[in-house]
Structure 1
Amino acid sequence: MKIGIPAETRPHEMRVAATPETVKKLVSQGHLVHIQSGAGVSASYPDDVYLTAGAQLVDAPAAFRADIVLKVQAPTDSELPLFKRGGVLIGMLDPFDADNTARLATAGVTAFALEAAPRTTRAQSLDVLSSQANIAGYKAVLLAATLYPRFMPMLMTAAGTVKAARVLILGAGVAGLQAIATAKRLGAVIEASDVRPAVKEQIESLGAKFLDVPYETDEEREAAQGVGGYARPMPPSWLTRQSALVHERAKQADVVISTALIPGRAAPTLISVDTVQAMKPGSVLVDLAAGRGAEYEGQRGGNCPLTEADKVVIKHGVTIVGYTNLASMVPADASSLY
């Protein structure tokens, strides 16, 4: 079987769909691996390590003409004509994007979206959403620590005592839990919120305080259970109470990291404009849902309407980070885990 690995061309994408270790395994199984020259350079994998692993260096058209093409992100319009009809594409293809799915069908490509793999124990090795979200949660905390104008841990020095930063994490999925663990290592005081009561024990086991919003109806309790490892949209009554609690805790926080996403739907608004206005000057908001929230003033925000995709902006004295591909900022390990 001929397997092709083209270079990623979308903006801000530094990952590669196969590492030298992966290539070595594929070659040992009798496959012919064609990798585009320079495909792994951004992830710190130069061409010579792929050659040593047994791959052949080719140009982009040759990589796309393989029987199976491995990619990180969905192909662009200019890349689609390079596929041979009947070929197979494997990657993160955003299966909820109907237009993209139609484009792939028109090109005659059999596509496997890795995001559609079930989030079960047996399928964990295929769960790219979890592996990449884990990296995003880690990087979100490091970005916040860099942009926050004070220390994260408490310091007792001859010049005085510095208080530990207060971190609020919204959403305790894979990204949120890794953000809690990373912020704890940096010495912050952490609070976390999630719609699912089952994650309370996980949050507390990592050293954070769980912000509990009681459920008042059976509808709220049922929605809070989630489906297949994902949160479900909550009823307006519960969201109103959660919003009031988040508003009060965000006012006290130095760093807020929001990670709430719902497959196939716009990301929920967790940090309102009023909440940002009430936050402390110099505080930092890292919005992992940037570009996937509701539209606000002509552009899509994230968990906060003021978030701007792939930008760092200052609104009402709060630094808002809207990078849409945090995993790509750790390209070597992200590629390896992918």
Structure 2
Amino acid sequence: MIIGVLKEQLPEKRVSLVPDIVKQLGKQGVTVWVEPDAGAAAFHSDDTYIQAGAALMPRTDILQQSDLVCSIQIPEDWHLLRAGTILAGVYQPLHHHDLMQQWAAKSLTTYSLDNIPRTTRAQSMDILSSQANIAGYKAVLLAAVSYGRYFPMFMTAAGTIAPAKVLILGAGVAGLQAIATARRLGAVVEVFDTRPVVREEVMSLGAKFISVEGAADASQAGGYAVEQSADYKQQQEVLIAASITKADIVITTAQIPGKRAPLLVTAQMINSMRPGSVIVDLAAGTGGNTALTQNQQTVFHNGITIIGDSNLAASMPADASKLYAKNVFNFLQLLIKDGQLVNNLQDDIIKGACITHEGAVISERLQAVLK
């Protein structure tokens, strides 16, 4: 069996498999082909892959001859893949349903790892969590660099500097890491989330929790956020508006699978912030949580800096690749039996991640979107 690793197109700097994982796959009888310079942006040279047992192969050969192709982002030249090839990466199928239908028509088997069920058994394969952890950490550091003032309180002979006030919208994995990082830097932190169950985690990190009563129950959503009612959104807007006026830094992380990111910060709210404030929007790739967010761009509006970046994990490619590759390896352990691929759709994790197979879209979540 051959697993191919493609070089990602910039600005993506991560790589699907790192040399340590290549070595472990080799022990299981798996041949790994790596495109030249695939790991260069993540600080893994071609020599380290060769030493780990991989073979350097041209991109076209990898696409046309591999049994399984690893590509974090959607490869632009996917049409070169032969029928029956397996793809594994982060393809956001609920947002790219037309492409998924094309892949099904080409008889590609697609594993989109962002669709893995968020269950206890699947924690070691949860790429959303491992990468969101990095994004939350980096979002605060990026905000601190962009902010023209101190984060912590300083008491000096020249006067006292008040600590920065940080508002974090969403207390998922990224939000919790953002809380911890902002608190370590000495900021005062407030957090909003639709789920009351995260209150204890937020407060244990030293932040203040704010919420609206009457949120829709997300307990059956497999660990993902759900759409809220119009009445709830109206109350939510009032609370966020009151907090954002006092905030120096806003980190937004709210997303709903298959839908546009909820609009939490209006232009009017942004105008109420003091000049020099910074917003980092991690939901930029699905429309953004603010009215002025542009993905992969920094917008300057009335003295406010609005940074839209849905892929901050790629800005820390070495550690992001290490964690991602381990997630992929753990997932592959469900597929590899005696050096061969076995697509056991009776396994809930494999079934959840498998989007297309044998000429059809088989993901129940995507089928619901297509109806």
User: What band does the TM-score fall into relative to the shorter chain?
Assistant: over 0.9
User: C-alpha separation between the residues in 2 aligned to 1:305 and 1:317?
Assistant: 16
Contact kept, 8 Å, 1:5 with 1:18, in 2: the verdict is yes
Tell me which residue corresponds to 2:126.
127
Deviates more, 1:252-261 or 1:315-324: 315-324
Whether contact under 8 Å (1:196, 1:225) holds in the other structure is no
Q: Where does residue 281 of structure 2 map in the other structure?
A: 287
Per the alignment, residue 309 of structure 1 pairs with: 295
Alpha-carbon offset, residue 94 of structure 1: 1.2
2:330 maps to none
Amino acid at match of 2:164: A
What is the one-letter code of the residue matched to 2:148?
Answer: P
**Counterpart Cα distance in 1 of 2:317 and 2:202:** 27
Superposed CA deviations along residues 30-53 of structure 1, whole A, max 9, x for unmatched, are: 111100010000011111111111
Matches of residues 142-291 of structure 1 in structure 2 within 5 Å?
142-215=141-214, 220=215, 222-223=216-217, 225=219, 227-291=221-285
Give the structure 2 partner of residue 74 of structure 1.
74
Query: Structure 1 pair 169/226, CA: closer, same or farther in 2 (3 Å)?
Result: farther
Q: Cα offset for 1:191?
A: 0.3
Q: Which amino acid aligns with 2:4?
A: G
SS of 1:313's equivalent? strand
Root-mean-square deviation over aligned CA pairs? 1.2
- CA deviations 1:224-281 (Å, max 9, x no partner) are 5462111211111111111111111100000000100000111111100100010111
Deviates more, 1:229-238 or 1:277-286: 229-238
The one-letter code sitting in structure 1 at the alignment partner of 2:211 is: D
SS at match of 2:47: helix
Going from structure 1 to structure 2, the CA distance change for 1:291 and 1:123 (only over 3 Å counts) comes to closer
Determine the C-alpha separation between the residues in 2 that align with 1:247 and 1:191. Answer: 13
Equivalent residue number for residue 349 of structure 2: none
> For the structure 1 residues 172 and 201, does the alpha-carbon distance in structure 2 shift closer, same or farther, using more than 3 Å as the test?
same
Q: Which residue of 1 aligns with 2:84?
A: 86
Partner of 2:343: none
Q: Residue type of the partner of 1:75?
A: P
More relative contact order, 1 or 2 (CA 8 Å, 6+ apart): 2
Contact 1:34 1:63 in 2 (8 A): yes
Q: Which amino acid aligns with 1:324?
A: S
- Long gaps (5+) in structure 2: 325-371
For residues 11 and 56 of structure 2, the distance between their equivalents in structure 1, rounded to whole angstroms, comes to 23
SS of equivalent residue, structure 1 residue 105: helix
Does the alignment pair 1:16 with 2:15?
Answer: yes
- Contact kept, 8 Å, 2:270 with 2:304, in 1: the verdict is yes
Separation of aligned partners in 2, 1:213 and 1:108: 46
Moved over 3 A (4+): 222-226
Matched positions, count: 322
Cα distance, 1:14 vs structure 2 = 0.4
SS class of match (1:252): coil
CA spacing shift, 1:268–1:53, aligned 2, 3 Å: same
Give yes or no for contact 2:218–2:224 (8 Å, CA) kept in 1: no
Identity of aligned residues (%): 49
CA 1:231–1:307: 2 relative to 1, 3 Å:
same
